[in-house]
Amino acid sequence: MDTDASDDEVPTLVQPDTTPQLATNQDEEIPDLVSTSDDAPAAKVPITIITGYLGAGKTTLLNYILTEQHGKKIAVILNEFGDSIDIEKQLTVSAPTSTSAEPVSFVPLANGCICCSVKDVGVAAIENLMEQQGGFDYILLETTGLADPGNIAPIFWLDDGLGSSIFLDGIVTLVDAMNVLKSLDEGFGDENRKDGSEEDGHAHGPLLTTAHLQISHADVILINKTDLVSPAHLADVVARIRAINGLARIETTTKAQVPQLEGFLLDIHAYDAVTDADLQFAAKGHSHLDASISTSTLLFPALSPPQIQRFDIFLRTILWDETLPCGTPHEPFEIHRLKGRVPVQGGKVLLLQGVRNVYDVNEVEVEGSGGAQEAKLVLIGRGVGQEGFRGSLVACLEGVGE
């Protein structure tokens, strides 16, 4: 992809397979295991994607963040026009000031922030905007209510080698406490809704809705509008959402007022290091509370050095081919998010991150007894709770089929 910031074209949304970043299934090479120890280039601007079903409170959250004292100069980017509320309304009255092919409007906001709107978001488009307006510390991208973050996140989750001036910090999903269970069960008015019958004529199991996609990909989930529901209903909502996404941090809010911005919503670095704390919510095994999407955790012993390659084959096959390798029969599945910490005998740990078919493995040195710890691999998606995952992993690590 051309990342030249002077490029006049605003790129359209690109899929992982057209973007030379990290490891994708178009790049059949085994990704290098790279150390994270080398110096991170300074002054990269974090981008947080804010997603959520229609009316969940995305704009309310943006306004809250912008009016809080955060000491940051924030650029807000909306990837749609034509909503009648607050920020969106201002957009329609401002004149385009950009030289890019798509109309872009800037609106000054409180705290020296700006707001702009791009029809098609892309890294080069955003880098352009930053260059024109200058000096921003943070970018918030509000997606449309029916957006699938699994299509958006890989665009911003870029290889360091591309030298981008922005990096994906995290995905925040707003959920409407009153309506979310209905959205999960019915997917009303939902363009991403997938039920049993698909083009290939196979049944793919229970209904998958936009609400599922937005929850399964999230790093932070705000269950908003708690003033409209009873404590019992709220408890049901929390349990259902935790069953879908065992990795995200969950907070309940009214008017999207989070207790803390820094380190909770902003600057969370959800796509770099994987800490034990990041994996603490994901219980052993998996839950059946939601029929469509679940979180499943695989625990296994530290790898021996020759098993690193075998483990990578396992990862590549489940993420790129959506099949279980090493001779394991399985039902259809799809993986939305993956995180893991996998110790290797001798004191290294593999830190794993994945979104859809894009993944990254970082090998880091650890102090002390890294090799003695148990490995933990957390998968979020459809069909990830099936027993075959464990058998396939064990068979691959044993070298079956080599």
Query: ∠128-129-134 over CA atoms, to 5°?
Result: 105
Binding residue count for ligand GTP, defined by CB under 6 A = 19
Q: Single out the residue of 57, 122, 381, 385 in contact with ligand GTP (rule: CB under 6 A).
A: 57
- 205: tokens are 């199991």
Tell me if 225 contacts Zn ion by CB under 5 A: no
Q: Give me the least distance between CB of 314 and ligand GTP, in Å please.
A: 38
- Based on CB atoms, which residue is closest to Zn ion, 177 or 349? 177
Q: Give me the least distance between CB of 367 and Zn ion, in Å please.
A: 46
Tell me if 31 contacts ligand GTP by CB under 6 A: no
Beta bridge partners of 362: 34, 351
Q: If contact means CB under 5 to 8 A according to the sort of partner, which of Zn ion, ligand GTP, none does residue 228 touch? A: ligand GTP
Per-residue binding letters, 37-56, with ligand GTP (x by CB under 6 A): ---------------x-xxx
Tell me if 85 contacts ligand GTP by CB under 6 A: yes
Q: Give me the least distance between CB of 225 and ligand GTP, in Å please.
A: 4
Of 257-286, which residues contact ligand GTP (CB under 6 A)?
none
- 18: tokens are 């057209």
Q: Single out the residue of 58, 240, 249, 376 in contact with Zn ion (rule: CB under 5 A).
A: 58
Cα 334 from chain centroid (whole Å) = 15
Tell me if 64 contacts ligand GTP by CB under 6 A: no
Q: If contact means CB under 5 to 8 A according to the sort of partner, which of ligand GTP, Zn ion, none does residue 225 touch? A: ligand GTP
Q: Give me the least distance between CB of 122 and Zn ion, in Å please.
A: 21
Distance, CA of 355 to CA of 374 (rounded, Å): 23
Q: Which of 281, 136, 294, 161 is nearest to 215 (CA)?
A: 294
Among the residue ranges 52-60, 91-99, 316-324, 380-388, the one whose residues contact Zn ion (CB under 5 A): 52-60
Binding residue count for Zn ion, defined by CB under 5 A = 2
Distance, CA of 168 to CA of 156 (rounded, Å): 5
Tell me if 172 contacts ligand GTP by CB under 6 A: no
Q: If contact means CB under 5 to 8 A according to the sort of partner, which of Zn ion, ligand GTP, none does residue 339 touch? A: none
Q: How far is CA 280 from CA 251, 301, 377, in A?
A: 16, 18, 12
- Based on CB atoms, which residue is closest to ligand GTP, 57 or 383? 57
Structural contact between residues 361 and 312, judged by C-beta atoms closer than 8 angstroms: yes
CB atoms within 10 A of CB 198: 11
Q: What is the DSSP letter of 148?
A: -
Of 205-244, which residues contact ligand GTP (CB under 6 A)?
224-225, 227-228
Q: Give me the least distance between CB of 94 and ligand GTP, in Å please.
A: 18
CB atoms within 10 A of CB 377: 24
Determine which helix (DSSP H) or strand (DSSP E) holds 380, and give its type and residue range: strand 375-382
Among the residue ranges 18-26, 40-48, 154-162, 249-257, the one whose residues contact ligand GTP (CB under 6 A): 249-257
Alpha helices, DSSP H only, in 263-401? 307-316, 388-397
Distance, CA of 195 to CA of 231 (rounded, Å): 31
- Based on CB atoms, which residue is closest to ligand GTP, 182 or 255? 255
- Based on CB atoms, which residue is closest to Zn ion, 60 or 100? 60
- 313: tokens are 């084959």
- Based on CB atoms, which residue is closest to ligand GTP, 56 or 355? 56
What is the three-class DSSP state of 338?
Answer: strand
Among the residue ranges 58-66, 94-102, 125-133, 190-198, the one whose residues contact ligand GTP (CB under 6 A): 58-66
Q: In the sheet that 294-300 helps form, which strands lie side by side, from edge to edge?
A: 285-286, 294-300, 375-382, 334-344, 348-355, 358-365
Q: Give me the least distance between CB of 21 and ligand GTP, in Å please.
A: 29
- 305: tokens are 């050095």
Q: Which of 229, 216, 143, 126 is nearest to 178 (CA)?
A: 229
Q: Which amino acid does the sequence have at 264?
A: F
* Interface residues toward ligand GTP, by CB under 6 A: 52, 54-60, 83, 85, 145, 174, 224-225, 227-228, 254-256
* Interface residues toward Zn ion, by CB under 5 A: 58-59
